[in-house]
Amino acid sequence: MKSAGIAKHFFHRVEYTCLRLFSAILMAIPERCVYIIARVLGGVAYHLLRIRRDVTEENLRQALGGELSEAELEKIARITYGNIGMTFIEVLLIPKLKSRIFEIVDMSDSFILKRNFDKGRGLILVSSHFSNWELNGASVASLGIPVSVVAKKQSNPYVDSYINGYRTGFGMKIIPPGVSIKHVVRALREHEAVGLISDQDAGKRGVFIDFFGRKASTPGGAAQLALKYCAPIVVTMSIRTACGRYKSIFREVEVRENDTVEELTQRFTTIMEEVIRQNPEQYFWMHRRWKTRPPDNASRPGERISRGY
């Protein structure tokens, strides 16, 4: 057991060192070369390594197969890998991009974000694994809005520390998933924004709503928080408009007094689906989004949440 632990530690150190070395190389070369490398990496992952290619193509078929031909779906899948390559590269370049954030990200619609933040009840930001979701969070924090993000912990502790380092460098606070809900509630009470990625399979404990015409288990936390603590919700996503250029999307989500968790979750998920439909090649189709099958009673009326801190 001890030798296994030593080997794992050694592997983590090597992986982290390679990542930092690759990041240093990328920062030293011209931007146009960086994006050529990103496309090559995406092409290798799609054509040679075939990383989750079957999952990607099946997800696209299930989501858009009734609207697009097999050739069109295959093209989207191929471009998707190139976009994921760009996202990976840009994550390694975020320290370099920090000073240029307002140059590379069009945030002309940020008044929607500020309008909801100024209500003084905290703010819930929901997003998805679309385009560069890390840069999306960084750009919001750059506006001066205090943001606490619920972020999954990486298996490699050195990589986890590295990624969280640039997140906190933009002013974000990190809340690991699974910790006490009191950390999230405290952020709302202190009139901060809480960022949640709400587009992955949530297992049997999720709420089942429609996503591309199929029932998908979805985290209900964002809706529960909004309903209980009267906090507004804004969908925030960034569309890649060119290599290294983005347009931030901010959409208010209507929160009705008698909403159930399912109804509110469906409302913001529908908004995210609309954005994804416009640029399907920028979505992370590699995830098994419809992995958990809904129970027979998934369509029954949901729980209504009582309000108040």
Question: Going edge to edge, which strands form the sheet with 105-106?
Answer: 105-106, 245-253, 233-242, 123-127, 193-197, 147-150, 172-175
Q: At what angle do helices 133-141 and 70-97 cross, to 10 degrees?
A: 40
Q: Tell me which H or E stretch contains 22.
A: helix 2-28
Single out the residue of 143, 132, 122 nearest to residue 194, CA to CA.
122
- What is the Cα–Cα distance from 15 to 49, expressed in whole angstroms? 19
DSSP category for residue 98: G
Across the chain, where does the E strand assignment appear?
105-106, 123-127, 147-150, 172-175, 193-197, 207-211, 214-218, 233-242, 245-253
Structure tokens at 160: 């986890």
State how far the Cα of 143 lies from the Cα of 106, in Å rounded to an integer.
12
DSSP string, 32-55: HHHHHHHHHHHHIIIIIS-TTHHH
pTM, to two decimals: 0.92
Environment class of 68 (CB within 10 Å of its CB; exposed 0-12, middle 13-18, buried 19+): middle
The rounded distance, in Å, linking the Cα atoms of 254 and 234 is 9
Token pair for 263: 């109804």
Q: Per residue of the chain (309 residues), give pLDDT as tens.
A: 566 778 898 999 999 999 999 999 999 999 999 999 999 999 999 999 999 999 999 999 999 999 999 999 999 999 999 999 999 999 999 888 888 999 999 999 999 999 999 999 999 999 999 999 999 999 999 999 999 999 888 999 999 999 999 899 888 999 887 766 888 999 999 999 999 999 999 999 999 999 999 999 999 999 999 999 999 999 999 999 999 999 999 999 999 989 999 999 999 999 999 999 999 999 999 999 999 999 875 554 566 676 766
280 Cβ contact list (under 8 Å, min separation 6): 60, 63, 64, 76, 80
